[in-house]
Amino acid sequence: MTSLVRNVGTIGALTAVSRVFGFVRDMLLARVLGAGMAADAWQLAFTLPNTFRRLFAEGAFSVAFVPMYTRRLAAEDGGEAAADAFAGDVLSVFVWVLLGFSALCMIAMPGIVWLLAREYQDVPGKFELSVMLSRATFPYLGLVSLVAMLSGLLNARSRFGPGAFVPVLLNLVMIGGILAGAWLRGPGGSDVTVAWALATALVAAGVAQLAYMVVATRAARVRLKITLPRFTPEVRRLGMLILPATFGAGIYQISQLVDTFFATSLPQGSLTLLKLADRLNQMPLGIFGIALGTAILPMLARHIQSGNGAEAQRLQANAIEIALLLCLPSAVALAICAEAFTTGIFQGGRMTGEDTRIMGAIVTALVAGLPAYVLIKVFQPAFFSREDMRTPVYVAAGALTINIALNFWVVPRYGIVGLAAATAITAWLNVASLYTVLQIRGWFTMTGKLAGRIARQLAATAVMAGVLAFMAPRTAFLWSGGTLERAGALVALVAAGMIAFFAAALLFGALDRDLIAQLRRRRPVAKTEGPPNLSE
């Protein structure tokens, strides 16, 4: 488990730094833009390239590319030279595909926005602004997709730090864009000015991220050459794997597009509130889920390719234990303290108390599916590492169909909160289906030891829930107070929850003492690895 813990720790720690800057970014955004017309238009323009980035580059491309690259890297005949040649062939084709896809989308942007947000036409200027901003932000897709490829290449070499650091650059540049936009707008100016400053900053961030990853790749002594595109047998095979992986790895991202479609049909500001609420959900998902999924894929691929099924089973069990240890208390704490966090973090400026109250209800619904979102990241590599892309496709298709059907029923009745709840429900259906298939095929079996550990984690989480349920209403008067009062209330809730959970976890035996020892040993190792996947 040592390598898994070390890699997850490296990725998770750097992702946590990124999430902190992401919160600063969104706190500023909420106060500067609120939940009005320009905010909704910006959220749509930001969602489009980011969703395609997660779906194709970090999702489908990575899960198909990493196992193939890893296999060539480990091969005795060729090794690094063969792996780099394969990566160069892929890059030479990938660049042109990205350019062509981006150009087509920018030309077709009025139609894309109409499909996702046709109700924006009812608000004067909102639809047109959404189209223009989406065209302006779409070049970011090509830039960050290349970043994702280079990150996947380094991940396959167990160099996880650079890919986990680049989101920090994104958030730093975006914070600068918000501040510049607020200054340019001035008192009484138009929020459209801020939206355009954000669009410009996003593309600038993509350039900065790509430049950093090029330097990191060269530092790893990886030499890639861009040549005329050649559709070699390996490149064609990668293309055939990417198509089903796009759907199988991207159910969460596809659901996000579906949610965007339904959210734009609701009152103005709904899309902005949903996206900001999802930031709280994305904090543990990005730190734990993406870190685990990124670390486990190349390791699992190596075990499977060497025929070591026992090690593959052990690795998956360890990943599940770590995932639930971290995300069960996070989900319950966020559900109980949702309004405290949304009020304390986002309320102020143009973001009203009613906005943050609705946002809190959205957070509660979203985090009901948080353990499922993370477990999907843990289960899917078991299929991808075996180059089985079809099974996740079938599972994802069923979950997405149910999600859409639920949305048609819950959105008219429960609005934006029902939309979030439907996403959580279908995530659990996805997990249950993936686990059932793994069990039937003998690729993973739930052991009594793992089940007992999960039961103890649930007991510790229940103790924490009781403490937070007692404290939350008694600190409510501080949530909307001054900056120090808000910070004090949130720190008190977080500290109380952590102390309660870990004390109960130690008492009940929910913590693996070997795991704790490995986490402690990770620190000096990480310092010697050099400069410390692509989530925001």
Give the 3-state secondary structure of residue 225.
coil
Higher pLDDT, 125 or 302: 125
**pLDDT tens column, 111-120:** 999 999 999 9
pLDDT > 90 in the chain, percent = 35
Point out the least confidently predicted range of 259-273, 305-319, 423-437.
305-319
- Rg (Cα) of the chain, in Å, rounded? 22
* pLDDT band, residue 497 (cuts 50/70/90): very high
The per-type count for the chain, helices as H runs and strands as E runs, is 22, 0
What is the model's pLDDT at position 529?
A: 33
Two tokens, residue 305: 């390719």
Would you tell me the crossing angle of helices 139-156 and 191-219 to the nearest 10 degrees?
A: 30
CB 43 within 8 A of CB 137: no
* pLDDT band, residue 291 (cuts 50/70/90): low
pTM of the model: 0.75
Q: Taking all residues of the chain, what is their mean pLDDT, rounded to a whole number? A: 82
Two tokens, residue 345: 């973090």
pLDDT (average), residues 177-193: 91
Give the 3-state secondary structure of residue 348.
strand
Q: Which residues of 112-146 are buried (b: 16+ CB within 10 A; e: fewer)?
A: bbeebbebbeeeeebbebbbbbbbbbbbbbbbbbb
* Residue 527: partners with Cβ closer than 8 Å, 6 or more residues away: none
pLDDT > 70 in the chain, percent = 83
* pLDDT band, residue 533 (cuts 50/70/90): very low
Q: Rounded to whole angstroms, how far apart are CA atoms 418 and 412?
A: 9
The dihedral through the CA atoms of 143, 148, 149, 151 has a sign that is positive
Two tokens, residue 527: 């310092």
pLDDT (average), residues 449-465: 93
What is the model's pLDDT at position 525?
A: 35
- Greatest C-alpha distance within the chain: 67
pLDDT at 493 over 60: yes
What is the model's pLDDT at position 429?
A: 92
Give the 3-state secondary structure of residue 50.
helix
Closest CA to 480 of 338, 334, 336, 348: 348
Q: Rounded to whole angstroms, how far apart are CA atoms 483 and 282?
A: 24
pLDDT at 174 over 90: yes
Q: Which residues of 322-359 are buried (b: 16+ CB within 10 A; e: fewer)?
A: bbbbbbbbbbbbbbbbbbbbbbbbbbbeebeeebbebb
Point out the least confidently predicted range of 24-28, 43-47, 146-150, 408-412.
146-150
Q: Which residues pair with 348 in a beta bridge?
A: 351
What is the model's pLDDT at position 442?
A: 85
CA distances, 88 to each of 83, 160, 454 (Å):
9, 20, 44
Point out the least confidently predicted range of 166-180, 274-288, 430-444.
274-288
What percent helix, strand, coil does the chain show, rounded to 5? 85, 0, 15
pLDDT at 37 over 50: yes
What is the model's pLDDT at position 63?
A: 66
CA angle 127, 56, 405 (to 5 degrees): 65
**pLDDT tens column, 324-355:** 888 899 999 999 999 999 998 888 888 888 99
At 354, the amino acid letter reads: E
pLDDT at 14 over 80: no
What is the model's pLDDT at position 353?
A: 87
Query: What stretches of 187-270 adopt beta strand conformation (E)?
Result: none
Q: Which DSSP string do the residues of 65-112 spell out, in sequence order?
A: HHHHHHHHHH-SSSTHHHHHHHHHHHHHHHHHHHHHHHHHHHHTHHHH
pLDDT at 195 over 80: yes
What is the model's pLDDT at position 111?
A: 95
The domain segmentation of the chain, as residue ranges, is 36-246
What is the model's pLDDT at position 221?
A: 78
What is the model's pLDDT at position 534?
A: 41
What is the model's pLDDT at position 528?
A: 31
The 10 Å Cβ neighbour count of residue 236 is 11
* pLDDT band, residue 357 (cuts 50/70/90): very high
* pLDDT band, residue 289 (cuts 50/70/90): low
CB 91 within 8 A of CB 224: yes
* pLDDT band, residue 157 (cuts 50/70/90): confident
pLDDT (average), residues 83-102: 83
User: Side-chain half-sphere of 166: how many Cα atoms within 13 Å?
Assistant: 31
pLDDT at 524 over 80: no
What is the model's pLDDT at position 41?
A: 94
Closest CA to 178 of 209, 207, 208, 200: 200
Higher pLDDT, 415 or 246: 415
